[in-house]
Structure 1
């Protein structure tokens, strides 16, 4: 799992990876901490999947860019599955679980 911090890094990722998971993670929220653990556990069990994240407190510009570009209201925590550069799935808060991610 790799941390993405800038709009340019994200745009390069979206152009180069046909499928990847992405999470907006809050460093101070216990719900986000739980979701991040679920996300990390999923990625650890599925080495074939690409996984990335941002820390909302450190990458507000990127977080806002994703919300505005794709018309998806910002939430934290929030997870996405990007397919061909566009969100094919997203969930927030307690809906980010290893079980839900396994379905994708």
Structure 2
């Protein structure tokens, strides 16, 4: 298929050359929630709650990753695997007073949830307003 890739363009090469501006931070301990609260005093902190068994969650996370451009590369985005860390998900809901959804994006500023979106609404989030 090499000749067709040259004529039509290869999606594989385009994908490899596209830089990723999203650097996930795994959220795996309850102690990190205190760090998030502290960090949120000086910058917006994102928590993305994801279910690895949910088709909608898988589609939304891919679209969410595409929202990130070079201007967003310094945003702190925590990734929470709901199936592995249900207790942390429960504490996120309690600490930031948000109802559990999956997938879900929560933005924390000054220790408080200032934005909360779920499902496909996540892909409509204007990341630049949180810089």
Contact 2:45 2:75 in 1 (8 A): yes
Contact 1:43 1:49 in 2 (8 A): no
* Matched positions, count: 103
Q: Which runs of 4+ in 1 moved over 4 A?
A: none
- Corresponding residue number in structure 2 for 1:67: 93
1:21 alignment partner, one of 46, 64, 69: 46
Contact 2:39 2:45 in 1 (8 A): no
Q: Which runs of 5+ in 1 are unaligned?
A: none
Which of the pair has the greater relative contact order for Cα pairs under 8 Å at 6+ separation?
1
Larger of the two Rg values belongs to structure: 2
- Corresponding residue number in structure 2 for 1:85: 111
Cα offset, 1:52, TM superposition:
1.1
- Corresponding residue number in structure 2 for 1:12: 35
If the length of structure 2 is used for normalisation, what is the TM-score? Answer: 0.70
CA 1:87/1:60 → structure 2, altered by over 3 Å: closer, same or farther?
same
Please say which of residues 21-30 and 37-46 is displaced more in the overlay: 37-46
Larger % of strand: which? 1
RMSD: 1.7
Please give the alpha-carbon distance, in whole angstroms, between the structure 1 residues aligned to 2:31 and 2:69: 26
If the length of structure 1 is used for normalisation, what is the TM-score? Answer: 0.86
- Corresponding residue number in structure 2 for 1:57: 83
